[in-house]
Amino acid sequence: MNECIQSSHRPTILVVDDEPSMLLYTRTLLEMENYDVETAGSGEQALEMVQSKPPDLMLLDMSMPAMNGLEILNACKQLVPQQKVVIVSCMIETNVVVQAIRLGALDYMTKPIYKAELDAVIKRCLSSGTSEDPGIPVLHFTATTEQEHIDTLDDHLFFLAASPRMKQLRAQASIVAKVDVPVLLLGESGVGKEILAKLIHKLSSRSNKPFVKVNCAALPADLLESELFGHESGAFTGATRAKPGKFELAHDGTLLLDELGEMSPALQAKLLHVLQDGQFSRLGGRANISSDVRVLAATNVDMEKAIAQKTFREDLYYRLNAFTMHVPPLRERREEIPLLIRQYVARFSEQYGQAPLRQSAALVRACMEYHWPGNLRELGNFIKRFIVLRDENLAISELETKGRKGALCEGMPSTFASVPDSGLKSLVRNSRDEIELKAIEEALAATHWNRKLAAARLRISYKALLNKVKQHRLAPPAGI
CATH number assigned to the domain comprising residue 42: 3.40.50.2300
pLDDT at 475: 81
Reply yes or no on whether the pLDDT at 288 is more than 60.
yes
Whether residue 79 lies inside any domain: the answer is yes
Whether residue 374 lies inside any domain: the answer is no
Whether residue 334 lies inside any domain: the answer is no
Helix (H) or strand (E) holding 158: strand 158-161
The residue-averaged pLDDT of 8-28 equals 90
pLDDT at 2: 42
Quickly state the pLDDT bin for 131 (edges 50, 70, 90): very low
Percentage with pLDDT > 70 across the chain? 87
The residue-averaged pLDDT of 302-330 equals 92
The CA distance from 359 to 338, in Å, is: 9
Are residues 25 and 113 located together in one domain of the fold? Answer: yes
**Who wins on pLDDT, 92 or 71?**
71
Whether residue 242 lies inside any domain: the answer is yes
Are residues 109 and 188 located together in one domain of the fold? Answer: no
pLDDT at 168: 85
- Plot region of 441 (φ>0 → left; ψ -120 to 50 → alpha; else → beta): alpha
Reply yes or no on whether the pLDDT at 115 is more than 60.
yes
Quickly state the pLDDT bin for 126 (edges 50, 70, 90): confident
Are residues 203 and 302 located together in one domain of the fold? Answer: yes
Domain stop point among 273, 307, 326? 326
The residues pairing with 211 across neighbouring beta strands, listed in sequence order, are 254
Give the number of domains in the chain: 3
pLDDT at 368: 92
Contact status, residue 106 vs residue 86, Cβ threshold 8 Å: yes
pLDDT digit string (tens) for 172-184? 898 899 888 899 9
Instruction: Name the pairing type of β-strands 279-280 and 289-290.
Output: antiparallel
What one-character-per-residue DSSP string does 303-341 give? HHHHHHTTSS-HHHHHHHTTEEEEPPPGGG-GGGHHHHH
Whether residue 284 lies inside any domain: the answer is yes
What CATH code is carried by the domain that includes residue 200? 3.40.50.300
Whether residue 383 lies inside any domain: the answer is no
**Who wins on pLDDT, 401 or 55?**
55
Inter-CA distances, 204 with 6, 132, 379, 441, Å: 35, 28, 29, 36
Single out the residue of 336, 390, 401, 333 nearest to residue 364, CA to CA.
Answer: 336
pLDDT at 133: 35
Quickly state the pLDDT bin for 250 (edges 50, 70, 90): very high
**How far apart are the two ends of the chain, measured CA to CA in Å?**
40
Contact status, residue 253 vs residue 200, Cβ threshold 8 Å: no
Reply yes or no on whether the pLDDT at 423 is more than 60.
no
**Who wins on pLDDT, 443 or 427?**
443
The residue-averaged pLDDT of 396-424 equals 62
Are residues 121 and 182 located together in one domain of the fold? Answer: no
Omega before 328 within 30 of 0, i.e. cis: no
pLDDT digit string (tens) for 43-61? 999 999 999 999 999 999 9
Reply yes or no on whether the pLDDT at 32 is more than 80.
yes
Domain span at residue 426 reads 420-480
Quickly state the pLDDT bin for 450 (edges 50, 70, 90): confident
Whether residue 42 lies inside any domain: the answer is yes
Inter-CA distances, 313 with 163, 188, 229, 271, Å: 34, 21, 20, 11
Domain stop point among 326, 344, 377? 326
The reported pTM is: 0.69
Are residues 104 and 212 located together in one domain of the fold? Answer: no
Domain stop point among 308, 326, 344? 326
Single out the residue of 31, 23, 29 nearest to residue 118, CA to CA.
Answer: 29
What CATH code is carried by the domain that includes residue 443? 1.10.10.60
pLDDT digit string (tens) for 152-173? 998 678 999 988 889 889 988 9
Contact status, residue 243 vs residue 294, Cβ threshold 8 Å: no
pLDDT digit string (tens) for 330-360? 999 999 999 999 999 999 998 888 888 888 8
Are residues 184 and 281 located together in one domain of the fold? Answer: yes
Are residues 171 and 309 located together in one domain of the fold? Answer: yes
Are residues 204 and 312 located together in one domain of the fold? Answer: yes
Are residues 225 and 295 located together in one domain of the fold? Answer: yes
Are residues 97 and 19 located together in one domain of the fold? Answer: yes
How many CA within 13 A on the CB side of residue 92? 15
Are residues 228 and 178 located together in one domain of the fold? Answer: yes
Whether residue 85 lies inside any domain: the answer is yes
The CA distance from 206 to 202, in Å, is: 7
pLDDT at 137: 30
Are residues 84 and 230 located together in one domain of the fold? Answer: no
